[in-house]
Amino acid sequence: MIMSMTLAGRGGNRGPAAAADNRRALLGAARTLFADKGYNVPLSAVARAAGVGQGVLYRHFPTRLDLAFAVFEENFAELEALAALTEADAFERLVDRLVELMVESVGFVELVVGARGVVEDYDGGRRLADLLTGPLARAEEAGRIAPHVGVDDVELALRMVYGVATTAQDEDHRRADVARAQALATARWRP
């Protein structure tokens, strides 16, 4: 009698009906924990924060890399939406958000940098270049960016900012240091 009351009170296993909710919960937990604790946070902590078991995590994301790439794809979808904007300041907003994501998720950038050597068909570099091309051209046409600035200049500036973000003395200094580095790197872009 006690056993049946306990089981009835838990709500039961929703099985496949919960899959989409579980995936969303795992991605949200991973995003938060990777940002707070780094890419190497225990996956058991991700599952616990999402309110699911590790088996559910591994059903959705067989490896740490699969989970991280899924979170990265969500970030990329947000960046693609920014890149599609046609407002005069769209390029600056895109770069600012890229930098924010770097600061929030240093572990993700570590993953992306590391993935180049591990994942054979990794196309992150090309995707970033494609993402920047249209907004940069529109910013140059609008006279907001000097005509000599190319996608490779923007990518170099982002790598420089990443270096500052990863080597910051501590979290308190990270944002201030990154803001200074971004200002220095982008000062040359002015028309």
Tens digit of pLDDT at every position of the chain (191 positions): 444 444 444 444 456 667 889 999 999 999 888 877 777 889 999 999 999 999 999 999 998 888 888 888 888 888 999 999 999 899 999 999 999 888 877 765 666 666 666 666 667 778 889 999 999 999 999 999 999 999 999 999 998 998 898 888 887 888 899 999 999 989 999 88
- With respect to residue 7, please indicate whether it lies within any of the assigned structural domains: no
Residues 22 and 87 in one domain: no
- Domain with 92 in it: what CATH number? 1.10.357.10
Amino acid at 13: N
Query: Which domain range does residue 37 map to?
Result: 17-62
For tokens 């990863």, the residue is 166
Quote the CA–CA distance of 136 and 154 in Å, as a whole number: 9
- With respect to residue 1, please indicate whether it lies within any of the assigned structural domains: no
Residues 80 and 148 in one domain: yes
Residues 43 and 92 in one domain: no
